[in-house]
Chains A and B, each alone.
Chain A
């Protein structure tokens, strides 16, 4: 009986359990316009990757707890000293010193606004977001960078005030656990699984 592949870290090593790949039959590709001659074969494959978040794991864990973490360069000798980075950067891009982790949830609630956006009607394979997808970039006061994310409720407009929402019920532990809604959205209007 097949079982989804699961992984734990134990004694600093990955421990694998379950099925990480499935074998499927290759099928011939034939030319319908040329006597059904053989052109090639299909090569089906189903694999599960194992991926470490490394020093960013705390960021993704915190989303499931309703917190938006960022990082800040605190190296007094660095030109970027005091810069807050969102996306979360483990190291300062200028001095490469390890950044301090800061909770910017409140700053996001009070100052986030849409810098730009795009409503996209198409997606690639394995997409799990509903279409059209409302991609947004969010800017914050006193943050050096402009976070890429998606708008969960409403239609985006440049300059629109938004606030973060978090998938705290059945989190995916991916960036999809963070989304945004117009700042005046009431809690009861949030889609299932999300909370302020």
Chain B
């Protein structure tokens, strides 16, 4: 589809306010041989209860339906893994359903959970996501991930998803990045930033104190992307509890967690990038058509939208989400964001898709220092810090859990509990990790609104989750 009707572009509407009241996560690692998946899910659930000062049994009494994100049955070698987890969590006979949308599975799980509450079907729901990516060797893992590409037209070629994605990265690199060495260093900065922030996150397994040169010297994977430009492959679980207003108030009455308004929107685009057709750019509230009139002149080859340089699904998720919540300029209206940094270059592409910078100018978000907790050029707080968890590059990518981990992270900022949760020495010890001597509090002070983007592979599915302090909404009837 290359033209959209008014009905298709209708601003989504929840039938009643929906709240995120708590969330939790397990430790993440490349392999966790001593725990079954359900043990990780129970770890995440217990943490969610603990943040409300409730026992797991007390929290379970409120749950009405359950939404489980688990991307790859074949990784865990268990069809209906959702039913296993549901049973081990002791949540029978509640209705539950599994959700799969590739890398966006976590975000899609939240999407379904939020709609269940918004519609009135349930007053309190569990959204839980996980992935078990340690039970096959890496090359077989790559084969299994490549199975998410088209099995006749793509996966026979190399059996490696990176390749199918990377042709788009190459196009962006040459058209918008102009294959400049300076842009290559900007990409490396993103890796340094995300591995570096992961050092302050006890849940993360990609903590590294590295330099731009380390990234540029790491093994080449798919030119210009190197090993340190890529996300992790992880094991772990994350969950969130989503409620209507009365339940949110009751659940949080003894907790430091202030219930947060939550909205989730979604977009999609062709599974095979090969099927992309040209169309007009769907504009975000902070853009005008005229600003893109000369895009092809400024960036030769950049006049084909979305071509291989943009992610229409991310643009559409933001298009719905911003209009739904009254967001006009994401850089002004949000205080912190978590993006799906599968690769450093896709992080830059997403800045443009969600309107943090106009198309063609994503690199400026990094080069200006706006994306940092503390702007390295000014020493002042970054304008819109991103991926303070370390993201998928530094924290984890346990596919079904990733989108929920991101929301957990932005919520801790809005709750003002980032330091308490990430600085707890007992947690570092429990996870067998050493809290660094230079551990730094990354709490974004006074954060009231946040965004996370969950993204599948080549952009087939993308969700945008927006959290807001209910006392700082941008639109009264959102």
Bound together, the chains give a CA A120 to CA B146 distance in angstroms of: 14
Rounded to whole angstroms, the CA-CA distance of A134 and B9 in the bound complex is: 39
Task: Write the chain A residue with the least CB distance to B227.
Answer: A122
> B163 to A125, Cβ gap below 8 A?
no
Contact of A123 with B275 in the complex, beta carbons under 8 Å: no
Residues of B close to A119: CB separation below 8 A: 222-223
- B274 interface contact, C-beta 8 A: yes
User: Which of A40, A83, A145, A148 contacts B167 (CB under 8 A)?
Assistant: A148
CB of A176 to closest CB in B, whole Å: 5
With contacts A79-B3, A148-B272 taken as known, whether A125 is within 8 angstroms of B223 at the C-beta atoms is no
- When the two chains form their complex, are residues B153 and A118 in contact, meaning their CB atoms are under 8 A apart? no
Please indicate the chain B residues that have their CB under 8 angstroms from the CB of A40 in the complex: 33
Q: 1/0 contact trace for B255-279 toward A, CB 8 Å? A: 0000000000000000011111110
A125 near B273: Cβ-Cβ < 8 Å: no
CB pair B275 A116 closer than 8 Å: no
Judging by beta carbons under 8 Å apart, are B274 and A133 in contact? no
User: Which chain A residues numbered 108 to 156 have a C-beta less than 8 Å away from chain B?
Assistant: 115-129, 133, 135-137, 144-150
Are B157 and A124 in touch, CB under 8 angstroms? no
Contact B222 A175 (CB under 8 A): no
> With an 8 A cutoff between CB atoms, is B168 at the interface?
yes
User: In the assembly, what is the distance between CA of A123 and CA of B34, in Å?
Assistant: 29
**Does A158 sit within 8 A of B, measured CB to CB?**
yes
Q: Is the CB of A148 within 8 A of B143?
A: no
Which residues of chain A have C-beta atoms less than 8 A from B2's C-beta? 79-80, 94
Contacts of B49 in A (CB 8 A): none
Query: When the two chains form their complex, are residues B142 and A124 in contact, meaning their CB atoms are under 8 A apart?
Result: yes
Q: Please tell me if A87 contacts chain B, counting CB pairs below 8 Å.
A: yes
* Contact between chains at A56 and B152 (CB < 8 Å): yes
Q: Would you call A137 and B139 a contact (CB within 8 A)?
A: no
**Proximity bits, A84-106, B CB within 8 Å = 1, else 0:** 01110100011000000000000
- Report the interface size for chain A: residues with CB under 8 A from the other chain: 48
Report whether B157 and A135 are in contact in the complex, using a CB–CB cutoff of 8 Å: yes
- Among B34, B146, B308, point to the contact of A39 (Cβ < 8 A): B34
Per the bound structure, the CA–CA distance linking A80 and B221 in Å amounts to 38
Is B169 part of the contact surface with A, judged by Cβ < 8 Å?
yes
Contact B157 A129 (CB under 8 A): yes
Residues of B within 8 A of A56 (CB): 152
How far, in angstroms, from A35 to B22 measured CA to CA in the complex? 40
Q: Is A15's CB within 8 Å of the partner chain B? A: no
Q: Tell me the smallest distance from the CB of B155 to a CB of chain A, in Å.
A: 8
Is A53 interfacial (CB-CB < 8 Å)? Answer: yes
Contact A126 B308 (CB under 8 A): no
Which of chain A's residues have a CB closer than 8 A to the CB of B201? none
Given A120-B221, A121-B220, A158-B174, does the pair A175, B167 have CB atoms closer than 8 Å?
no
Q: Given A93-B1, A125-B139, verify A147-B223 contact (CB < 8 Å).
A: no
Interface: A43 (CB within 8 A): yes
Asked if residues A118 and B277 are in contact (CB atoms below 8 Å), the reply is no
Docked-complex contact A145 and B157, CB < 8 angstroms: no
With A39-B34, A133-B157, A146-B308 known as contacts, the answer to whether A122 contacts B162 (CB < 8 A) is yes
Contacts of A144 in B (CB 8 A): 277-278
Tell me the minimal C-beta distance from B48 to chain A in angstroms: 28
Contact pick for A94, options B1, B143, B153, B166, CB 8 Å: B1
Contacts of A145 in B (CB 8 A): 274-277
Residues of B at the A interface (CB closer than 8 Å) are: 1-3, 33-34, 77, 137, 139-146, 151-154, 156-164, 166-171, 174, 220-223, 272-278, 301, 308
Q: List 8 A-B contacts (CB under 8 A).
A: A53-B152, A117-B167, A118-B223, A124-B140, A124-B141, A124-B143, A137-B273, A145-B277
* Given A117-B170, A126-B143, A135-B166, 16 new contacts (CB under 8 A): A31-B34, A39-B33, A87-B153, A87-B275, A121-B221, A123-B142, A124-B158, A125-B159, A133-B160, A135-B158, A146-B273, A146-B274, A148-B154, A158-B170, A175-B152, A175-B157
